[in-house]
Amino acid sequence: MRPADRERVVELTADIWEGHDYLPQVFDAWVADPAADFMAAEEDGVLVGLQRVRPIAPRVMFYEGLRVASTHRRQGLARRMVRAAVDSARAAGFQHMRLVTGDNPPSQGLFESEGFRELFQGAPWRARRQEGGDPPRIPGAAEAEALADRLGGLAGFDQYGGLNPDWQSPLDLDSALLARLAGEGRLRLGAGGRALAVVQPETLRDLNVSCAIGSGGVFQDLLMALRFEADSQDLPGVWLLAPDDHPGLDDLRAVGYDFDGDDFHLHVYGLRLDS
Ligand SMILES: CC(C)(COP(=O)(O)OP(=O)(O)OC[C@H]1O[C@@H](n2cnc3c(N)ncnc32)[C@H](O)[C@@H]1OP(=O)(O)O)[C@@H](O)C(=O)NCCC(=O)NCCS
């Protein structure tokens, strides 16, 4: 895609999600990103499909932005585009492809039939900011290594699929990712390292927490501290993504978090490219 394609993208997406497609907003940034490959499908010179791939770790490719013009649907175009993206990522030596979607039966059906597996499914919870307490502790990179060994034993780790469902970059919570997140100041730690949260780099409205692991009193203290952090940053509250079977859901409720799902779920899918 080139900057000059902007109008064609605006046109293609005009009737998607009742005119609320975010692609026109991100178009300039997407076109300008040299690390990503933003691809167009054309038919007789007309733009009929879009997709983008972007490496998010040395061997992990992120897939996003799939769109097919409403005039060209159910002709197998999306399937051909996804296959092309998968084949080229595999040929380039990537081991995994990851993607994130909301509740979207057509695209979920497509990706599942192409072998993608759902790795995580979760819904948003919200709490209002709270005055009068200390924000959580932010561990440094040196602590991240020790954390990696313990994390698998904490309540909720498995329900998160062992990953941080960051909607820009869903990666396994291994020592490499923990070191990276610690370096970016995005980890929040409960007492004794017995609870962990990951905050998103961007703030949409609230303090966005993509993952919160733990249960019991230490977990509750961490969840409260996130509300204090929202207050210290003058944000209205905390928005936290939790799997429906998180063992700490009662802890969330106990410290003022409410289910904010309204039936919305975020899904992370993954495909192994090397098997
Ligand atoms: C989702 C979308 C990309 C599908 O494009 P498409 O070219 O029509 O899809 P294909 O013809 O390649 O269909 C592939 C599979 O997707 C699924 N699918 C596509 N449209 C579907 C629909 N309306 N209902 C149910 N399943 C559907 C089916 O599994 C289909 O396989 P099948 O034809 O063997 O049943 C297109 O509908 C679109 O652009 N929608 C709006 C934007 C969007 O939702 N993007 C995905 C964001 S994650």
Residue 189's region, left for phi above 0, alpha for psi from -120 to 50, else beta, is beta
Residue 235 one-letter amino acid: L
Closest ligand 1 atom to residue 102 Cα is: 48
Ligand 1 near 102 CB (within 6 A):
no
pLDDT digit string (tens) for 124-183? 999 999 999 999 999 988 888 889 889 999 999 999 999 999 999 999 999 999 999 999
Is the Cβ–Cβ distance between 145 and 179 less than 8 Å? yes
> For residue 146, which of 200, 182, 172, 170 has the smallest C-alpha distance?
182
Closest ligand 1 atom to residue 79 Cα is: 12
Ligand 1 near 6 CB (within 6 A):
no
- Whether 203 shows a pLDDT value over 90: the answer reads no
Count other C-beta atoms under 10 Å from residue 20's C-beta.
Answer: 7
Residue whose CB lies within 8 A of the most ligand 1 atoms, among 26, 63, 74, for a mutation test: 74
Which residue's structure tokens are 């005055």?
131
H/E stretch holding 274: none
Which residue's structure tokens are 């409720």?
253
Mean pLDDT taken over the chain: 95
Mean pLDDT of 228-237: 96
Residue whose CB lies within 8 A of the most ligand 1 atoms, among 43, 64, 67, 107, for a mutation test: 107
- Whether 262 shows a pLDDT value over 80: the answer reads no
Tokens of 161: 């699929």
pLDDT digit string (tens) for 95-111? 999 999 999 999 999 99
Mean pLDDT of 243-251: 96
Tokens of 16: 């998607």
Q: What is the pLDDT of residue 143?
A: 86
- Which domains are delineated in the chain? 3-94 (3.40.630.30), 123-264 (3.40.630)
